[in-house]
Amino acid sequence: MAPPPIPRPVTAARPLLELRDLNVAFETSRGLVRPVQDVSYSIYPGQTLAVVGESGCGKSVTALSILRLIPSPPGKVLGGQILFEGRDLLALSEREMQSVRGRDIAMIFQEPMTSLNPVYTIGDQIAEAVMLHQKVSARQGYEIAEQAMKDVGIADPGRRLHEYPHQMSGGMRQRVMIAMALSCKPKLLIADEPTTALDVTIQAQILELLRKLQRETGMAMLLITHDLGVVAENADAVAVMYASRVVEYATVEQIFDRPQHPYTEGLLKSVPKLGAHAQRLVSIPGMVPNPSNFPGGCKFHTRCPRTRELAARANPAETVEVRSGDETFRVMARCTAAGPRVVPQAPTAGEPELREESQGHWARCHYAENFEKAPVTRPDLANKREVTPEAVVVAELGAVTL
Amino acid sequence: MDSVSSTLTTPATPTSPSPSGAPLLRVRDLRTWFPIKRGLFQTTVGHVKAVDGVSFDVHAGKTLGLVGESGCGKTTVGRTILRLIPATGGEVIFKGQDFYKYRGAELRRLRRHMQIIFQDPVSSLNPRMTVGNIIGEPLTVHGIATGADRDDRVASLLHRVGLDPAYASRYPHEFSGGQRQRIGIARAIALSPDFIVCDEPVSALDVSIQSQVLNLLDDIQKELGIAYLFIAHNLAVVEHFSDEIAVMYLGRIVEKAGSVELYANPKHPYTMALLSAIPEPDPRPRKRRIVLSGEVPSPSNPPTGCPFHPRCHVTRDAAKQANASETVELTIGGRSERVLSKCVRECPPLEQKQGETGHVAACWVTQ
């Protein structure tokens, strides 16, 4: 049985970042596409929130909206609030926003190849960020850059400062990105798939580094990933996104021990686990729906094993036949839309709300354990796990210059 | 389903059937070196030894997993076997025939028994061909079916990989990544091959789609008895899928064993590190992690002796216990480290270790 959520030891009454019912849309030739719908979550100082989901679920667009990096047009925020230390970032002027970016909130991207400018040296690029946000001279800027590179474990930073991105490997470039992001000591780091492009042994180095830096500086982290292993080892709280919405939000232990949403359950089962040789994988049928054409009702009903199982045993009057892709099957009527697709911003017919299943555990499913009794509350989770699963580092060997 | 295997039964092969017990594919001392050219006259100044002395067997209907990090040469091994890249040396014996000796029409006849599934389902399908033509082309090229007969076979292949046969008239861009990978699989099995190189077949796909494609590959293997060389960087996926696993590092196999054995009892320090580096989907992990320092060295200038020694934790531990005369001090990344001098001097052979028969590893220290 899962232990109860561990209360956060650090006293911080209010969240560092709080998203309230964020809605983002893109104007396209095929109509309004809404990649972020009613997304709410919070991040407390020192906490790591992992946002998990497959491509197109809206996890990266949400992160870009926090920094107001969504190009507009075609993008626009339809509603909601992004509160950073109590201030609504959506209400700031562009100038004020510039001082938030990089200084208060920094971001690292998946692709370390394209996120660095190929015609400037590494030192120029880090120092530029430093000089922009801190009142320092160029010389001091380079000194801070050198120190930042040392902090992320780059050997011989004095020499590397004068190198260009193409002279470095992928893992090294990601370290440079982290050095740049951390050079201004941000309170929040948004890491969008920081290790997806890297090999596993390099991934282990980078994640170990991020954990160490987080311990030392107490910054909070929004970790966007599709890798459940990375989530399990790094997150305090987890938000699972599917088709533009948060479908489950809970502590990392609750997500892995007692998943309530069938999508979370499916994701957990579909990953091959080491040491479980040759067991057949459970897979989620169908594919991720296209945001320009989401199914009505619960957006997961076309792929949901739970509603199919229930429908097989239920009174046929409570079920309906659904056709998805090449398949025809029965699902619970409640999971589908009663009528045609509704206008944006109005609650979609048949779509379940995100309800608090048990204390500190939200799920969006009509057939979650306690859905009937569960209240609709604001998703807010302050937990920080006490023991980071500090994998024992057998050989911390430092960086090797190649 | 059975209709597919029966309609696709191949005519007699140009090669004699392999004697029972002999492997379907035997790779011996495979080498793929790329020349490094410099200067006005483009003289060859050295070689990148992408693959340097790789040997293994693949048995009919079984899967050999080939795992390693980017740049280790695993993809080059797959392509060299199929002669998509010319080999510098070594032998590939397929069904008892020396594959590298074949030329022209004979080569083409043998090739239909060996296929490949690529990593990137976007760039590996011609965007200007319909799905029907993509899957049907090999049937035409090898003179197996034309016209209505070909269309029937394409339809049954599409059905076999879980797609609607009506999709034959559509173009690749109309499909999602997972569906495109299914099209790639249909093309690969169109000629009823005996052997398929699966080169990172699921790494470009979403998590929930990965398991669908892995299950499909598994079903096809059971049904049609195809042998796979399954190349991937994700050890969890390889371990799930393979009967036997070979771990590559800098162009060489450093360890090979049955997949259960390799996971339970790794003998090469690189395999240990690779296994421990995989994040477990469990918030309370029980394993110890070995964080390797540095990165894979460049294959154009590999370290002397055991290519893994600059990153190896086992040789460092052993050097602490050993007699000082048997160790040597190295400067690695600005730090000085003691390692066993043997590891720096000589490259260890791939030899039987304690454990299952056939569990081989190349390490001077582990037993």
User: Please, are residues A78 and A24 in contact by the beta-carbon 8 Å criterion?
Assistant: yes
Rounded to a whole number, what is the distance in Å from the CA of A90 to chain B's nearest CA? 32
- Tell me what ipTM this predicted complex has: 0.77
Average pLDDT over residues B232-260: 92
Q: What is the pLDDT of residue B19?
A: 46
Which residues on B lie below 8 Å from A270 (Cβ)?
207-208, 210-211
Which one, of A22, A112, A15, A34, lies nearest residue A67 by Cα?
A: A22
What does the pLDDT average to over B166-171? 91
Q: In chain A, what percentage of residues exceed pLDDT 70?
A: 89
What does the pLDDT average to over A346-361? 80
Measured between beta carbons, which residues in chain B are less than 8 angstroms from residue A172? 295
Mutate to test the interface with B, among A154, A277, A279, A390 (most CBs of B within 10 A): A277
- A230 contacts on B by Cβ (under 8 Å): 279
Give contacts of A199 with chain B, Cβ < 8 Å. Answer: 69-70, 233, 296
Predicted confidence at residue B84, as pLDDT, reads 92
Instruction: Say if residue B262's pLDDT is above 60.
Output: yes
φ and ψ of B252, to 5 deg: -125, 155
Q: Amino acid identity, residue A393?
A: V
Distance CA A290, CA A284 (A): 16
Question: Any residues with CB less than 8 A from the CB of A23 and at least 6 apart, and which?
Answer: A34, A36, A37, A38, A39, A77, A78, A79, A80, A345
CB nearest to B291's CB, from A257, A287, A393 = A393
Confidence of residue B300 (pLDDT cuts 50, 70, 90): confident
pLDDT at A10: 47
> In A, which residues are within 8 Å of B282 by CB distance?
232, 256
- CA-nearest of A269, A256, A216, A208 to A234 is A208
Query: Looking at beta carbons, which residues of chain B come within 8 Å of A385?
Result: 283
CA angle, residues A205, A211, A214, in degrees to nearest 5: 140
Contacts of B335 in chain A (CB under 8 A): 397-398
Q: What is the pLDDT averaged over residues B333-352? A: 87
| pLDDT at residue B38, as a whole number | 85
| pLDDT per residue as tens digits for the range A82-134 | 999 999 999 999 999 988 998 899 999 877 778 889 999 999 999 998 888 88
Query: Pick from B240, B241, B283: which is nearest to A252 by CB?
Result: B283
Q: Which of B79, B63, B167 is nearest to B117 (CA)?
A: B79
What integer is the mean pLDDT of A35-54?
93
Which is nearest to B73 in space by CA: B293, B233, B270, B304?
B233
Of B179, B295, B311, the CB nearest to A171: B295
Name the pLDDT band for A213 (thresholds 50, 70, 90): confident
Selected residue of B289, B301, B337 to mutate for chain A interface (largest A Cβ count, 10 A): B289
Highest mean pLDDT of the ranges B100-109, B171-180, B358-367:
B358-367
Q: State which residue of chain B sits closest to A279, comparing Cα positions.
A: B240
Q: Which pLDDT does position B15 carry in this prediction? A: 42
User: What pLDDT is recorded for position B333?
Assistant: 65
Cβ contact A281–B260 (<8 Å): no
For residue A394, give the chain B residue with the closest CA. Answer: B290
Q: Pick from B260, B277, B288: which is nearest to A200 by CB?
A: B277
- Indicate the range of A3-12, A24-33, A202-211, B274-283 predicted with least confidence: A3-12
pLDDT at B287: 66
What is the structure's pLDDT at A395?
A: 39
State whether B275 and A274 contact (CB < 8 Å): yes
Give the pLDDT score at A277: 65
Rg (CA), chain B: 22
Query: Could you tell me which residue, B238 or A199, shows the higher pLDDT?
Result: B238
- Tell me the residue ranges of DSSP E strands in A235-318: 237-242, 245-251
